[in-house]
Amino acid sequence: MGVSVDRLVAARVTAPRDPTPWIGVLGIVVLVAAQVYGVISSPPDRDMGHLQKIMYVHVPAAWNAMLAFLVVALASLRYLWKGRPADDLLAASAAEVGALLTGLTLALGMIWGKPTWGVWWTWEPRLTSTAVLFFMFVAYLILRSFVDDFERRAQWSAVVGLLGALNVPIVYMSVRWWRTLHQLQSSPMTLDSSYTWPLRVNAVAVMLLMAFAIVHRYRTAVTEYTADELADHAALRGEGNRV
C-alpha cells in the first residue's frame, strides 16, 4: 500500500530547488552555438564529408547516457542500503533520460552507418552491447509500470538498474575486447584538432540538457509520490473515522 506519511517525512523526500529553467535554456543555447561552431569551424571529412558531423550529437548522447546510468547505479545502491524513496525516484528519473539518450545514440548511429558501412545495422560488438543496454533499461521502465507496491517496485528496480549499469563498461570496452567496425576509442584524443573542441562543447551542452531532464523528471516524480501518499493517508483516515 506504500509507506506512511510519517515515514515519508522521516525520509525527507522533498523536491530540490528548481534550477531547471536556466539549466535547460543554457543547454539549448550552448547546443545550438556548438552545432553552428562545429559546422562552420570543422572541414568535411575526407571519406564521409559533412556526414561526419553527426558525431557532434551521436557521441555526446552516448557519453551522457553512460553518465545517466551511473546516476541510476549510485541511486539504486543507496536505495538498497538506506531504503529512501527519494533514491528510487532519482534512479527512475535518470533511467528514463538514459534510455532516451541511448535510443538517440542508436538512431543516429544507424543514420551514420548506412552511408558509411552500407547497412543500417550490423551485429558488431559496440552496436549489440548498446542495444542490450537500451532494452535492459526499457525493461526497467516497463517493470516499474507493472508493479503497484512501492517498496517491491523500488527493490526490484534497484536490482535491475544495477544489472543494467553493469553493461556500461562492456559497451565502453567492446571496441578493445572484440573486433568491431567502430574506432578503437570514442575520444577527442583520436580526432583531428579541428573536430575536438566542437565535440567537447557539444558534450557539455548535452550534459546540461541531461541534467535539466533528470532534475525536472525527479521533481515531477516527487510531487506524484507525495500526492499518492497523502491520498492513501487520507483514505485510511476516512476509513478509520467510519469505523
As a whole number of angstroms, the distance between CA 156 and CA 111 comes to 35
Q: What is the pLDDT of residue 29?
A: 85
Domain layout of the chain by residue ranges: 65-192+210-235
Per-residue pLDDT of the chain (243 residues; tens, 9 = 90+): 444 444 444 444 454 556 567 777 887 888 888 888 877 877 776 667 667 778 888 999 999 999 999 999 999 999 999 989 999 999 999 999 999 999 999 999 888 878 877 888 888 888 889 999 999 999 999 999 998 888 999 999 999 999 999 999 998 887 777 776 666 554 555 566 677 888 888 899 899 999 999 998 998 888 888 887 676 666 666 555 554
Q: Which residue has the cell 559496440?
A: 126
Q: Where are the beta strands (DSSP E) in 42-140?
A: none
- The residue with cell 534497484 is 158
Q: Which residue shows C-alpha cell 507493472?
A: 146
Helix (H) or strand (E) holding 11: helix 5-11
> pTM for the full model?
0.82
